[in-house]
Structure 1
Amino acid sequence: MIVQQLIQKSQTKIRKNGLSSAIHQLLLKTVNVFMLFKILRGVTLQKVDETFLDYPSHLKPMFLSEQMMRHYARDPVNEMPESFIEESLAKGDQCFGIFDGAVLASYGWYSRQPTHIDPPELFLHFSPSFVYMYKGFTHHDYRGQRLHAIGMNLALKHYLEKGYQGLVSYVESSNFDSLKSIYRLGYLNVGSIYLIRLFGRYQSFTSKGCEPFDLALKRLV
């Protein structure tokens, strides 16, 4: 029965993402039995999609003030624990949200400083010409309304007007659903970051495409 379930699960993954993606995921899982190994796909968004700048009149997009962040962090539905808020505010990060009345329907976080990833000992560094987009969230009652895309393009428009060249982000290579989603949003793949932890020590390597964006993993000194 267990073997049959595993076969069915594998067949579902192959139908959904293709054979090469299923093999890629299997190889990563196998390697990670012995050591930590991740491949992060670096992506960038530098052009606003005008189709996402229109939104229903009852919605209100804006950058959240510190007081608003702390207020909405009290509700666990919003997935913003107090520890996360404290760290993000200390770095000067900004949260761009879309409100439906008093409901925080969607948000995304934007940083101009190195930001820790998983594992938390490491930080993603990037060029000061770009803004790092992370932690996108849409309230379950508002999913399917393209709010994430609307908020991100409005935030991108703001940062472009401030003189930045665009947004950067990353997605783990095995997260095929997220990769498909960001490519639909217009993000372009710029290269990969390879992360290894062996005998308790981290090593990371970047492909040439990451160099113009200064994308790299480093420990915070």
Structure 2
Amino acid sequence: MAVQQFIQKSQLKIRQHGLANTAHQALLKVVNSVLLFKILRGLTLQKVDPRFLELPAHYRGLFLSEAMLRHYASDPRNELPEDFLDAALAKGDQCYGIFDGERLASYGWYSRKPTHIEPEVLDLHFAAGYVYMYKGFTHHDYRGQRLHAIGMNLALQHYLEAGAKGLVSYVESANFDSLKSCYRLGYVDTGSIYLMRLFGRYLSFASGGCRPFGLALKPARA
């Protein structure tokens, strides 16, 4: 029975993601059973998509003030833990949110400074002029309404008007659903960052495509 379930699960993955992607995911799983190894796909979005600029009726979008963020962080359903909020605000990061009345339906975070990734001993660096998009969230009651796409494009429009070159982000190479979602939003690949931990030390290498965007991993600052 276990073998049959494994075969059925594998066949489903192949239908969803293709043979090459399924093999890639399986290989990474085997490697990570021995040592940590990740491939981060660098992404950039530099053009606003007019399809994602119109908010549904009765919704509004804006950058949240610290007072607003502190208020909404008190509800754990918004996934804004206090330690995260303290660190993000100390860096000057901004949160663009979409509201249904007074209810926070969706948000995304944006930074112009190096930002912690997982593991948090490392920071993602990027070139001046770009804005790093991270921690996208949509409450489960509002999923399927493209609020994440709309919020991201409205934020991008704001940053482009302020002189930015565009957004950068990354997705782990085996996270196929997230990659597909990003491509649908208009993100394009910039290259890959390879990360491994060997004998307690983190080593990383960024491919040539990452260099124009300054995408690289470096030890986190205290």
On whether the aligned pair clears a TM of 0.5, the verdict is yes
| Separation in 2, partners of 1:8, 1:119 | 33
Measured against aligned partners, the alpha-carbon deviations of 1:120-177 in whole angstroms (never above 9, x if no partner) come to: 1011000111000001011111110010010000000000011000000000000000
Could you tell me which residue of structure 1 aligns to residue 216 of structure 2? 216
**How many residue pairs are counted as aligned between the two chains?**
221
2:168 corresponds to which letter in structure 1?
Answer: V
Could you tell me which residue of structure 2 aligns to residue 165 of structure 1? 165
| Separation in 1, partners of 2:4, 2:199 | 36
Conserved 8 A contact 2:134-2:169: yes
Could you tell me which residue of structure 2 aligns to residue 109 of structure 1? 109
The reply to whether residue 65 of structure 1 matches residue 65 of structure 2 is yes
Runs (4 or more) in structure 1 with deviation over 3 Å come to none
Give the deviation of 1:57 after TM superposition. Answer: 3.0
Could you tell me which residue of structure 1 aligns to residue 175 of structure 2? 175
TM-score under structure 1 normalisation?
0.98
The reply to whether residue 206 of structure 1 matches residue 206 of structure 2 is yes
| Separation in 1, partners of 2:142, 2:191 | 32
The residue correspondences of 1:1-221 to structure 2 (distance < 5 A) are: 1-221=1-221
Measured against aligned partners, the alpha-carbon deviations of 1:50-73 in whole angstroms (never above 9, x if no partner) come to: 111112230010000000001111
Aligned-partner SS, 1:163:
coil
| Separation in 2, partners of 1:200, 1:8 | 37
| Separation in 2, partners of 1:88, 1:49 | 27
Percentage of identical aligned residues:
71
Greater Cα shift, 77-86 or 164-173: 77-86
Aligned-partner SS, 1:132:
strand
| Separation in 1, partners of 2:195, 2:115 | 16
Aligned-partner SS, 2:164:
coil
| Separation in 1, partners of 2:169, 2:48 | 16
Give the deviation of 1:220 after TM superposition. Answer: 2.3
2:217 corresponds to which letter in structure 1?
Answer: L
Aligned-partner SS, 2:109:
strand
Aligned-partner SS, 2:56:
coil
| Separation in 2, partners of 1:78, 1:148 | 14
Measured against aligned partners, the alpha-carbon deviations of 1:80-105 in whole angstroms (never above 9, x if no partner) come to: 11111111011110000000001101
Conserved 8 A contact 2:120-2:220: no
Structure 1 alignment gaps of length 5 or more: none
